[in-house]
Amino acid sequence: MSETPQGEFPKSAHLRKHADFRKVYELGRRHFSGNMTVFYLRRQADADATPLGAGEASRLRSHEDKNKDAARSSSRKDPGPVRIGFTVSRALGGSVERNRMRRRTREAVRHHLQALAGLPVPLDVVINPKKSLLKAEFTAISEEIERAFRVISQNVSRQGSTQKSFERKSSGRPSSAGAGA
């Protein structure tokens, strides 16, 4: 047996939609490291809901389909509220190099995904590798992913507590926009 940590990175934990990537880039925070930049954003809890209403969805599916879906979903492991995506720009090299970067980064994420599993808030993460990732040792990549996940976890926890206290402080106060001297 190898001594490397084992983990899972199920398809349900992948960030896939272009709009979600854009939202993370535009509204999210960044963590910089030597071989990559990691973007992250807390998302709304209902972002994964289907666009169909409950009545419409039930009309479209038969009773047997519902039972099959329930059996499938109960047998699957829930990856938690974290979705992770990868972007590797064409400027970083040809398809072989880009895919190698993506595979190495995905493997490091698989080893350390559990570090984000205990977060109480839904979170989207986008990892954007740099050219230096190709020459880096896998252990260095893995350590950078682990460090990034640790920083994200700390920041999201801190951000959640400060946001709640900010909301408490700001509620009930009149706006200072109209106040003049």
Using only C-alpha atoms, what is the Rg of the chain? 20
Q: What is the pLDDT of residues 48-97, one digit of tens each?
A: 433 334 444 444 444 445 444 444 443 344 445 899 999 999 999 999 99
Q: How confident is the model over 77-88, as pLDDT tens digits?
A: 444 589 999 999
Residues 31-45 have pLDDT tens digits of 999 999 999 999 875
* For the chain, domain boundaries: 11-45+55-165
The rounded mean pLDDT for the chain is 76
Q: Are 109 and 9 in contact (CB under 8 A)?
A: yes
CATH architecture of 11-45+55-165: 2-Layer Sandwich (3.30)
* Alpha helices by DSSP H, the chain: 18-27, 54-60, 63-75, 95-112, 114-117, 138-170
